[in-house]
């Protein structure tokens, strides 16, 4: 008589019959995964092929270049993550020019005000503005990553429910 084990669809490791979760990766096990011990080694894993109409979304997010992402009307690749560096560089240039303007205006009024602007006001304002811009851009990147991870989880859920 052969032992019946549950093979995890996620990590393909055997688990004792009656297990609810995989002891190796924590994935929920279902009764449809029951196999005799040693069976299924030569089979392809159940998640190797996707149902029709479902693509690996995470791969499509990284395949396209900037121009391909920019003109992607199906919105499967994100252009925002590619623009963040350029936006931050432009922000640093803009903040630097604005600080220089403050310094020049300070020296235009008086030498003392110019020194105060040069040593205190312009650096503090520039650091505050750069910090705020960086925070906003990091929040945008976090939202893009949440979206990509959510799409990947939905695709994984569809794969698991179609088995």
Q: Residue 11 in 3-state DSSP?
A: coil
Joined tokens for residue 52: 């029709």
Pairing of strands 4-7, 14-16: antiparallel
Domain positions in the chain are 1-48, 56-161
How does pLDDT run along the chain (163 residues), one tens digit per residue? 445 677 888 777 787 777 777 777 777 777 555 454 444 444 444 444 544 444 444 443 445 777 887 787 877 777 787 789 899 999 999 999 999 999 999 999 999 999 999 999 999 999 999 999 999 999 999 998 898 889 888 888 888 887 7
Q: For residues 1-39, b (16+ Cβ closer than 10 Å) or e, as one string?
A: eeeebbbbbbebebbeeeeeebeeeebebeeebebeeee
d(CA 27, CA 24) in angstroms, rounded, equals: 8
d(CA 105, CA 102) in angstroms, rounded, equals: 5
Q: What is the pTM of this model?
A: 0.54
């Amino acid at each position: 008589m052969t032992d019946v084990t549950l093979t995890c669809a996620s990590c393909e490791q055997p688990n004792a019959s009656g297990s609810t979760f995989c002891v190796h990766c924590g994935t929920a096990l279902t009764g449809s995964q029951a196999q005799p011990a040693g069976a299924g080694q030569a089979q392809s894993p159940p998640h190797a092929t996707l149902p029709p109409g479902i693509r690996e979304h995470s791969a499509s997010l990284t395949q396209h270049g900037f121009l391909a992402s920019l003109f992607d009307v199906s919105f499967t690749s994100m252009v925002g993550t590619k623009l963040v560096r350029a936006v931050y560089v432009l922000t640093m240039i803009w903040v630097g020019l604005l600080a220089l303007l403050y310094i020049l205006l300070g020296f235009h009024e008086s030498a003392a005000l110019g020194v105060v602007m040069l040593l205190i006001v312009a650096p503090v304002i520039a650091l505050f503005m750069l910090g705020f811009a960086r925070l906003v851009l990091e929040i945008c990147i976090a939202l893009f990553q949440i979206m990509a991870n959510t799409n990947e989880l939905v695709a994984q859920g569809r794969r698991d429910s179609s088995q």
